[in-house]
Amino acid sequence: MGNDEHASPASEAWSLIWQVFSTREVHGRLHAACDELGLTPPLAKALSFLDLEEGKPMRVLAEEWACDASYVTSVVDGLEERGIAERRVHPTDRRVKAVGLTPVGVKVRDRLQEIMSQPPSGFRTLSESEHRRLRDMMRKVIAAMET
Amino acid sequence: MGNDEHASPASEAWSLIWQVFSTREVHGRLHAACDELGLTPPLAKALSFLDLEEGKPMRVLAEEWACDASYVTSVVDGLEERGIAERRVHPTDRRVKAVGLTPVGVKVRDRLQEIMSQPPSGFRTLSESEHRRLRDMMRKVIAAMET
DNA sequence: TATTGTTATACTCTATAACTATA
DNA sequence: TATAGTTATAGAGTATAACAATA
Q: What is the pLDDT of residues B20-60, one digit of tens each?
A: 999 999 999 999 999 999 999 999 999 999 977 889 999 99
What is the tens place of the pLDDT at every residue in B85-124?
A: 999 999 999 999 999 999 999 999 999 999 999 999 999 9
Give chain A's end-to-end CA distance (angstroms, integer): 27
Percent helix, percent strand, percent coil in chain A, to nearest 5: 65, 10, 30
pLDDT of residue A2: 44
What is the tens place of the pLDDT at every residue in A38-82?
A: 999 999 999 999 977 889 999 999 999 999 999 999 999 999 999
Q: Decide if pLDDT at B147 tops 70.
A: no
Between CA B107 and CA B100 the distance in angstroms is 13
pLDDT of residue B114: 95
Mean pLDDT of A110-125: 96
Query: Within 13 A of A92's CA, how many CA atoms are on the CB side?
Result: 0
Chain B residues touching A23 at Cβ < 8 A? 145-147
- Could you list the protein residues whose CB lies below 7 A from any atom in strand C? A 57-59, 69-70, 72-74, 76, 87, 93, 95-98; B 40-42, 66-71, 74, 92-95
pLDDT of residue B3: 45
pTM for the whole structure: 0.92
| Structure confidence at residue A7 as a pLDDT band (50, 70, 90) | confident
Between CA A117 and CA A109 the distance in angstroms is 12
CA of B71 to C1' of D18 (A): 34
Chain B residues touching A2 at Cβ < 8 A? 51-52
Mean pLDDT of A135-142: 98
Between CA A45 and CA A49 the distance in angstroms is 7
pLDDT of residue B1: 44
